Structure 1
Amino acid sequence: MRERQLADAFVELADTLVDDFDLMDFLHQVTVRCSQVLGVAAAGLLLTDQRGALRVAAASTEETRLLELLQLQTDEGPCPECFHSGEAVAVPDLSSAADRWPRFVAQAAQSGFASVHALPMRLRTDVIGALNLFGARPGKLDDHTIQLGQALADVATIGLLQARAIRHHETLAEQLQTALNSRIIIEQAKGVIAERRRIDMDEAFTLLRETARRENRRLSELARAVVDGTEPVLPERSTPMAAGQPPIRLRHHDGSVG
């Protein structure tokens, strides 16, 4: 079953690598497929910006994104170590690393994670980021799973190479910076949608992504429209509103309310 899922994942990701593909959506799909195919609880992907600093590029869940941010803010955790060394980092039991990464381990445990593996993303001889795989139970991933995880990290790197080929007049660093800047806009849009719809951040991202795909728009483009107010209302999801909860009414640019 896993081999079939892996084959489907590679076919899906390869199909995404078409002319003018959506880089942010592609990177998100890499993290989602990693968690599904590799049997891990969650996955996160960090990339370097123009100044060589790590930034969160994608995560399969909101909790994972926040945990990745903590690593960057404190400069502790498996991802910074993986990035700086260029080697994979495996911690089968996070409780054993409490002295090594005290804040990261505490937050990871609170988020329900008990193990972590970080895999480098290499572009030729340069390490441009890292892929983090979080487990809900202690235990080391077997060699075959690690190889599959590295293969998916390599696919993400190929995606970045494809983006460079499409936009040949830009440098790779400029493309990465654009993607990372887009991530900031997406996070802002998630916050706006979550507040308007009274839903959590994961649901807000799902709504944003579904709308972008349905309307054949770039994720970052739609997110920017939500943030600057030119996209005042996203379509409601099918989830029924709780009984007694008043409808959300928003004021539009022409002064009407609805």
Structure 2
Amino acid sequence: MTGTREHDIIRVFVEMSNELVDGYDVVDLLSDLTTNCATLLDVASAGLLLADGRGVLHVAAASSERTQHLETFQLQREEGPCLDCYHSGEPVIVPAVAEEAERWPQFSRRAESMGFASVHAIPMRLRDNVLGALGLFGDRPGQLNDDDLDLAQAMAHVASVALVNEKSASDLSTVNAQLEHALVSRVALEQAKGIIANISGLDMQDAFTVLRRYARDHGHKLTDVSTQLVNRELDGDRVLAHARRASILG
């Protein structure tokens, strides 16, 4: 492990632990989880599926729009490594997507067409409760080494604790309520991204960057900013103007 990568790993865990102590926005935290996985691990991108109270999976976060589309495709077709990971509660390692056409015919074709060649699915769980699955998508074939897999699982564990704190981990109704809140918050974020994209011509990834920058610079939760935008309590042009002042837009 290089000194720079070790420093980045320490920074990520320090930031996550500080958020748990100081209060956090669950949507922001889960988005950070996927972004940090894509940055720290030998993968191109990451996506997160979470289950609601009925056990139905939803896309909760993704480090890129490409990943979000593939995660959504898995849910629509009801096949893929992340679904298998959730149902088994065990990691699903796919070093070569091209070799899994018989196992997941629709997923394999779509993943390859989108440029993904490998997938590692990591369960998110607390005790016996499987909360979802973290998907790590690579642009080339190959298996992550043990250190990277351990790091991915560790980050997933921290995010799981953030979703459901230790005192309520054994209370299924509380677990479900907190997961439902996370998923509803994600819906608000997607709607807010769409609003920003529609009025600005930005793609959805840049729209997310604009929203996050506004929230962080004003000391607000990303969920609150998204909800205010959707409810027309916050003007989208104001958010875009801030992005221009912050020099993240041309």
Tell me, yes or no, whether TM beats 0.5. yes
Which deviates further from its counterpart, 154-163 or 94-103?
A: 154-163
SS in structure 2 of the partner of residue 139 of structure 1: coil
Corresponding residue of 1:251: none
The answer as to 2:106 corresponding to 1:103 is: yes
Question: In the alignment, which of 193, 197, 202 is matched to residue 190 of structure 1?
Answer: 193
Corresponding residue of 1:85: 88
Q: Which runs of 5+ in 1 are unaligned?
A: 241-258
Compute the RMSD of aligned alpha carbons. Answer: 1.7
1:112-151 alignment runs, 5 A limit? 112-151=115-154
What is the CA distance between 1:164 and its match in structure 2? Answer: 6.8
Distance 1:21 1:144 in 2: 28
| TM-score, normalised via structure 2 length | 0.89
**Residues 143-187 of structure 1, C-alpha deviation per residue, up to 9 Å, x if partnerless?**
12111111111111111133976xx9x812111101101111111
AA partner of residue 98 (structure 1): A
Distance 1:148 1:66 in 2: 25
**Residues 105-133 of structure 1, C-alpha deviation per residue, up to 9 Å, x if partnerless?**
22222322110000111211121111111
Percent identical pairs in the alignment equals 47
| Structure 1 residues 68 and 164: alpha-carbon distance in aligned structure 2, compared to 1, 3 A threshold | farther
Q: Which runs of 5+ in 2 are unaligned?
A: none
Structure of greater Rg: 1
**Residues 46-74 of structure 1, C-alpha deviation per residue, up to 9 Å, x if partnerless?**
11111111111111111111111111111
Question: Do the aligned partners of 1:50 and 1:173 also contact (CA within 8 Å) in 2?
Answer: yes
The answer as to 2:205 corresponding to 1:202 is: yes
SS in structure 2 of the partner of residue 18 of structure 1: helix
What is the CA distance between 1:36 and its match in structure 2? Answer: 0.9
Distance 2:114 2:196 in 1: 23
Distance 2:109 2:222 in 1: 33
**Residues 8-31 of structure 1, C-alpha deviation per residue, up to 9 Å, x if partnerless?**
111111111124311110111111
Distance 1:211 1:66 in 2: 25
The answer as to 2:27 corresponding to 1:24 is: yes
| TM-score, normalised via structure 1 length | 0.87
Q: When you count helix as a share of all residues, which structure comes out higher?
A: 2
Distance 1:144 1:133 in 2: 14
Corresponding residue of 1:94: 97
